[in-house]
Amino acid sequence: MNSVVCVKQVPDTESVIKIKPDGSGIITDDLKFVMNPYDEYGVEEALKLKEKFGGSATILCMGPSRVVETIRTGLAMGVDKAVQLDDPAFEGGDAFATAKALAEALKGLEYDVIFCGKQAVDDDLSQVGQILAELLGLPHVSLIQKLQVADDKKSAVVDRQVEGGIEVLKVLLPAVLTTQKGLNEPRYASLPGIMKAKKKPLDVKDLAALGLNADSVGCNGSKTMITKYTAPPERAAGKIIEGEGPQETAPKLVQLLREEAKVI
Amino acid sequence: MSNSIWVFAEAKEGKIKKVALEMISEAKKMAEKLGGDVSAVLMGQNVEPLAEQLGHYGANKVYLADHEVLKDYTTDAYSKVLTELIKENEPSIVLYGATILGKDLSPRVAARLEAGLATDCTGVGLDDGKLTVTRPMFAGKAYTDISFSGSKTNMASVRPNALPVTPPDESKKPEIIKVDVNINPDDIRTTIQEFVKTAGERADLTEAEIIVSGGRGMKGPENFQMLEELADVLGATVGASRAAVDAGWKAVSDQVGQTGKVVSPNLYIACGISGAIQHLAGMSTSKFIVAINKDSDAPIFQKADYGIVDDLFKVIPVLTEEFKKLKADS
Amino acid sequence: MNVAVYKILGIPNFILLAIAIIVALAFFINRVKHLYFILRIGKEDDRFNDIGARIMFALKRILLQLCVLKDVTAKDLAGLGHAMIFYGFLCFAFSYLFMFGRGFIPGLSFHILGDTFAGYFPLLLDIVALMVITGVVWGLLRRYVVRPSRLESTPEAAIIMGIIASLMVFHFLMEGFEVNIDPHETASMAFIGVAFAGLFNNMGIERTTQEALFIASWWIHCLLVLGFMVLIPYSKHLHLILAPFNLFFKSMEPRGALRPILDMEEAETFGVSNIEEFTWKQLLDLYTCAECGRCEINCPAHLSEKPLSPRHLIHDMKVHLLEKGPHLLGGNNGSESGTDAQAEAAESGYDGPALIGGVVSEDKIWSCVTCGSCMEQCPVCNEHVDKIVDMRRYMVLMESNFPPEIQAVFRNMENNSNPWGIGWATRADWAKDLGIKILSEDSNVDILYWVGCAGSFDERNKKISTALVNIFKKVGVNFGILGAEEKCCGDSARRIGNEYLYQMLATETIEILKGYNVKKIVTQCPHCYNTLKNEYPQFGGDFEVVHSTEFILDLIEKGKLKLSKPIDKTITYHDSCYLGRYNTVYDAPRKILQAIPGVNLVEMERNRAKSICCGAGGGRMWMEEHLGKRINEMRLQDALDINPNLISTACPYCLTMFEDAIKEKDVQETLTGKDIIELTEEAMA
């Protein structure tokens, strides 16, 4: 059973996001980068499959040299090897352009399952897994919370979170599965794991190695473009709702939640 | 290529999702500027009766794909039907609701058509006749304006509740275009084996959209019934602070906080919770926080978007009634 | 009477005695050798530095009996009893030189040391013997009638007590007979001997019979002493021999400094999962334990009914060591290192319980709050906490095996440098409007104020940080903070066993501090204080570190800070473990309170070195307390017993734990918690 986990390096979710004064991007200097939390579920699941069926787990990660730290995190957890896609041409790509490069890299890898996080917590797109499946001609199931691979490894039964319940699906393998919270509890790498990770193979591939054209990836290969970044409207300081007793305050609260917060 | 704006109208349990009506309302305005029309795509089994309603909100045409194989959503069937329709008609814009279904389907269709797609948009507009959208990133810590290039059709999924619904005009009837559905069952690579309903039951804390949580101020286990009632009305899940769990009023699995569950619902209602840092560490990423506590110095008010300083035993029953009224109205 | 040549079955006594001594010594040496070889399985540890200080320390603790006298209380006088037995034992040990000597040297007596000595020493011996008998009877009563929790009523204790009592009885018998048969040998001042002599005469015992009975008493006495000697290394009385060594080899490092793992990049295993992976000194601790239970009755985990008892921990490991040790030694007498020994154990077929999970349950390992009370109270200076941390290190670093709620804490420290995982860039937000120098902007400061995670992120403790800033400003201290560059000091990570994470945090911080050429640091939190002061030097971070209470007291004593606004309250002070026991800062907080007009300072029964942990130390702050009673509520009860209006603390963890307990017990109407810093600010003119 071979799995490939597509991993993205993202700023930690607690990061303070500062936008460049001209709105052309965010300031990345002070950001602490980590593995996308949803991708960790994929790594953990890949390791579980490996423990149960044997085979290998591979990380596929696109990004500049700083992503090596994130790749090592996965290797420390127990992933066997990693492929890093590093080329300036990959930069600035949207989900489509990114998936295109990933798909190309995947053609050179062996897999029965490809895991992607259900979304990356930086761009919050929730697209790459599905597009990847399409480009590779594979089925996909998004938002999985449970995975049982059949003994013949030709299919799997997954629990998938949908509105109002859990859908239990059978999917033919190979397939792309996007992982949701609840699938598992990602392990904490042991220290020997961390040490071993430093010696595990990391295959760095650039545009030429993938045999792709610079026009089909990165910014040039993208179908969407971010034209401007803006800060969200300043969240008003907490409001204490004034009023004479619950008969006044409760309706006010309901109204605010409905009209201002729009959460009801 | 046409100047047509399409809306994928998701239907569930014999009802059109509200987000579809929101998108049609918006699409109508855009179509006026663009000089085009609005079409809705409706898929499912026995969904024809729903088509007319789409017209009331502004859909000029409804592409109706009504077939047994579309009864339950499968990526392969839905994407095949939709992709073929789009290929044939070449609308300039396709909008989806940013629902679980919409977010599963739209990237698949976009990829097959090599079209641009923006997810979870909070605003859609036109710039020089082309689609532009606004969408949050970094869990809402930044917003981005997006433009599209390089494809005939541009696509976006739109967040529910982000766009206003215009009042329906029941005199408007849409043109209904029935779509032939040619799907070989072997093309569908996933089969639904079972659907486990959790509606009625509570969602898990970590996945809940709304959480009503009680702390030491609840005074005793019996009072949590009050929170259960509030949660019932809101479709929320009930959580508890460490103090309440330690006191044995709630199970350990209900604990929110540093050593319990880390949650980030859209709405977190903290009742009788002072807001010790260990609790805040487990819920401060909630999108909106409401605090009800009689101690105005409680640290929870520092984190809350809305606070009521009052006796929770008086506030909560009234609040529950108010929410009931609201739900009944909508 | 010439004992040496007295013949039994035609063989002179000196030959028989020589045989008896040789046999006893053979048993004794054989056992000691066995113990020694097992000890040598342990890993290396250099405990030979500073020999002079080591000798002085050991002598002082033993000769003055400080080891047991330091904690004698009206409720527990056992230390007094031990001192009596100890001095008695010294006297008798001296007298035994003569007793055995007489078996070889005819005519040997106390007279060779002068007549005065020969006159008074037997009197002393009689008095001591009476005291010892009293001590034994008392000890037996305690063990078998009173039964305090810390003592166990084992057969071993009864046998030892029996032997000691018999020794005394035979001393009197010998003396009594000798007074009658050899009056010049024994001074008449030995009043009990004389009394016995009179009794024997009154009973009409013949002189020859008395001679025979004397020889018999002498023999039994000698054999009892030899037997006792053999018994020592087989029993908990091994401490008679080993306590001096254990005291000599005591760690000379600051108590608050855990031993670092130095070769992190190279090592293959981390921490301890096999008994032989402890150092020889840690194994010596196991041998030396006298099972007195002082650790146990002061252990917050034990007192709150958790599975951990430091005494049982040590004892169980000792039993395990003696079981597994011989397997490790195999045929040869143990010269191999840890991993070889391990392989050896596997080959030799040791199939007993594993150390972690078997000998010591995981629950015990996680129950420890590392408060250090066990080490503080231990008469032989055993080092318990580092053993527990060594086992935690194995569990955490090798197996990622820890309470599930800890994973988030580690991640949070890694990604945001604080245990709550709040965005690191917001660390200095509390100080935004206070106009404080941030070192990255202006590093020209006299004092670096180390705020700590609680002081930076926790609403309650932010108030304390602000109060300290107000004090600094009032006095005109030129200070600054690191702002967003400050990180968690790593105390919890280290004590939970994640040495890797700790070293990452520590080395990064040390670099930053050195970069700003920081000389003096004031910390708000005792955990930061201990870590920066005692543990950072291990990684090249040598800074002058003072705790806020020490700093404030210094300001008061120099007249720079006047506390003139009265606080009319009855206040008790709770000693933080890492300020008190680990760093002996007991007085500063109390003196500050006393400097505030109106304060009525009252002490809880358990205070200073005997203070009980709030329950949050050793990383327990971040773990759920599933077992036993809540430590913070137990400690709150100590305060409630003396009815103060306010509990003062000098530690953010303690304050949090108390405030939780106060709310839990619903006593907030009558009792509040405050930090000494807040009280200082309130009382400032």
**How does pLDDT run across A74-91, given as a tens digit for each residue?**
999 999 999 999 999 999
What's the whole-model pTM score? 0.92
Lowest-confidence segment of A114-123, A145-154, B158-167, C314-323 by average pLDDT: B158-167
Is residue A74 situated within a structural domain?
Answer: yes
What pLDDT shows up at residue C348?
A: 64
Closest of C450, C433, C447, C505 to residue C478, by C-alpha: C447
Shared domain check, A80 and A205: yes
Nearest C-alpha in B relative to A226: B146
Distance CA C649, CA C647 (A): 7
Hey, which residues 605-634 in chain C have their CB within 8 Å of chain B? Answer: 622-624, 630
Continuous segment of H or E residues that includes residue C480: strand C479-481
Alpha-carbon distance values, C674 to A68, C554, C574 (Å): 47, 21, 11
Residue A225 lies in a domain: no
Beta strands in C494-568 (DSSP E): 520-523, 544-547
Nearest chain A residue to C500, by CA: A191
Return the pLDDT at C581.
96
| pLDDT band (50, 70, 90) for residue B141 | confident
C656 touches chain B (CB under 8 A): yes
DSSP state of A145: E
What pLDDT is recorded for position C333?
47
In total, how many domains does chain A have?
A: 2
How many percent of chain B have pLDDT more than 90?
A: 73
Asked if C115 and C152 sit in the same domain, the reply is yes
The whole-angstrom distance between residue B67's C-alpha and the CA centroid of its chain comes to 26
On the question of pLDDT at B276 being above 90, the answer is: no
A257 & A154 share domain: no
Which CATH number is associated with domain B205-329? 3.40.50.1220
State whether C663 and B259 contact (CB < 8 Å): no
Same domain, A212 and A247: no
**What DSSP state is assigned to residue C315?**
H
Contact A227 B117 (CB under 8 A): no
Contacts of C154 (CB under 8 A, 6+ apart): none
Whether C261 is in a domain gets the answer: no
Determine which of A228, A257, A260 to mutate to test the interface with B (most B C-beta atoms within 10 Å).
A257
Prior bond of B160 cis (ω within 30°): no
Joined tokens for residue A40: 């960790």
Taking the C-alpha atoms of residue C278 and residue C295, their distance in angstroms, rounded to an integer, is 20
Q: Determine the pLDDT at residue C189.
A: 84
Residue C341's nearest CA partner among C324, C360, C316, C354 is C324
Alpha helices in C394-498 (DSSP H): 399, 405-416, 452-457, 459-475, 491-496
Q: Do domains B5-187 and B205-329 have the same CATH topology?
A: yes
In a domain, C317, yes or no: yes
Last residue of some domain: C399, C430, C450? C399
Let me know if residue A49 belongs to a domain: yes
Evaluate whether C651 touches C526 at the Cβ level (below 8 Å).
yes
Pair C475, C373: CB distance under 8 Å: no
The chains in contact with chain C, meaning 3 or more Cβ pairs closer than 8 Å, are: A, B
Q: Are strands B11-12 and B15-16 parallel, antiparallel or unpaired?
A: antiparallel
In the DSSP assignment, the letter for residue B206 is: G
C533, C551 Cβ separation under 8 angstroms: no
The domain spanning residue C194 has which CATH number?
1.20.950
Task: Parse chain B into domains and list their residue ranges.
Answer: 5-187, 205-329
State the Cα–Cα distance between residues C61 and C380, nearest whole angstrom: 9
What is Dmax (Cα atoms) for chain B?
Answer: 66
CA atoms lying within 13 Å on the CB side of residue C238: 21
Are C211 and C292 in a shared domain?
A: no
Neighbours of C347 (CB within 10 A): 10
Kindly report which listed range (A60-64, B318-322, C348-352) carries the lowest average pLDDT score.
C348-352
Phi, psi of C204 (to 5 degrees): 75, 35
Strand arrangement of the beta sheet that strand C520-523 belongs to = C437-438, C479-481, C447-450, C520-523, C544-547
Task: Give kind and range of the element (H or E) at residue C285.
Answer: helix C280-288
Does residue C209 fall inside a structural domain? yes
* Helix or strand holding residue C324 (H, E): helix C310-329
Query: CB–CB of B214/B238 below 8 Å?
Result: yes
| Cβ A46 vs Cβ A79: under 8 Å | yes
Asked if residue C353 has a cis previous peptide bond (ω within 30° of 0), the answer is no
Residue C424 contacts A, CB cutoff 8 Å: yes
If one counts every other C-beta atom within 10 angstroms of the C-beta of residue B248, the result is 10
Same domain, yes or no: C88 and C231: yes
CA separation for the pair B121, B100 (Å, rounded) = 14
Which pair of structure tokens corresponds to residue C89? 């034992």
The string of DSSP codes covering B45-78 is SS-HHHHHHHHHHT-SEEEEEE-GGGSS--HHHH
The reply to whether C282 and C395 lie within a common domain is: yes
The answer as to whether A222 is a domain residue is no
Q: Is residue A228 part of a domain?
A: no
Residues C435, C428: Cα–Cα separation, whole Å: 11
Of the residues C368, C399, C430, the one at which a domain ends:
C399
Confidence class of residue A157 from pLDDT cuts 50, 70 and 90? very high
User: For residues C205 and C184, what is the distance between their CA atoms, to the nearest angstrom?
Assistant: 20
Are residues A17 and B138, on separate chains, in Cβ contact within 8 Å?
yes
Q: What is the CATH number of the domain that holds C677?
A: 3.40.50
Chain B CB contacts of C660 under 8 Å are 243, 276
Dihedral of alpha carbons C285, C288, C292, C294, sign: negative
Domain final residue, candidates C340, C370, C399:
C399
Helix (H) or strand (E) holding B5: strand B5-9
- Nearest CB neighbour to A223, from listed B148, B193, B267: B148
End-to-end Cα separation, chain A, in angstroms = 45
Give yes or no: residues A194 and A95 share one domain.
Answer: yes
Residues C211 and C89 in one domain: yes
Residues of A in contact with C397 (CB under 8 A): 190-192
What are the residue ranges in chain C where pLDDT is below 50? 333-338
Nearest Cα residue in chain A from C426: A16
Q: Same structural domain for residues C410 and C535?
A: yes
The CA–CA distances, whole Å, from C112 to B66, C197, C671 equal 121, 24, 70
Question: Are A40 and A142 within one domain?
Answer: yes
pLDDT of residue C336: 45
Q: Contact at 8 Å (CB) between C608 and C575? A: yes
Nearest-Cα distance to chain A for B173, in Å, is 30
Partner residue facing B103 (CB), from A126, A128, A171: A126
C89 and C55 co-located in one domain: yes
Cα separation, C198 vs C188, in Å, equals 12
Q: Which domain holds residue C74?
A: 7-248
Question: Helices (H) and strands (E) in chain B — how many of each?
Answer: 9, 18
Residue B199 banded pLDDT, cuts 50, 70, 90: low
Place of tokens 């939390």: A37
Is residue A121 situated within a structural domain? yes
Residue C212 belongs to a domain: yes
Contact with chain A for residue B203, Cβ under 8 A: no
Single-letter code of the amino acid located at B28: K
User: Considering only residues 245 to 284 of chain B, which have any Cβ-Cβ distance to chain A shorter than 8 Å?
Assistant: 266-267
d(CA C26, CA C32): 10
Rounded to a whole number, what is the distance in Å from the CA of B299 to chain C's nearest CA?
6
Interface probe for B, chosen from C464, C624, C659 (most Cβ of B below 10 Å), is C624
pLDDT tens-digit series, residues B74-112: 999 999 999 999 999 999 999 999 999 999 999 999 999
**pLDDT surpasses 60 at A72:** yes
Write phi, then psi, for A92 (nearest 5 degrees).
75, 10
Count of domains in chain C? 4
Q: What is the CA radius of gyration of chain C?
A: 30
Domain with A171 in it = 3-216
**Phi, psi (rounded to 5 degrees) for B133:** -135, 160
| CA end-to-end distance (rounded Å), chain B | 39
Specify whether C334 is located in the same domain as C420: no
Question: C564 in a domain, yes or no?
Answer: no
What is the radius of gyration, based on Cα positions, of chain A? 21
Measured in Å, how far apart are chain C's first and last C-alpha atoms? Answer: 85
Number of CB atoms found within 10 A of residue B272's CB: 27
C362 and C420 inside one domain: no
CATH topology of domain B5-187: Rossmann fold (3.40.50)
Name the token pair of C399. 């197996």
Please indicate, yes or no, if residue A224 is contained in any of the structural domains.
no
Is A226 inside a domain boundary?
no
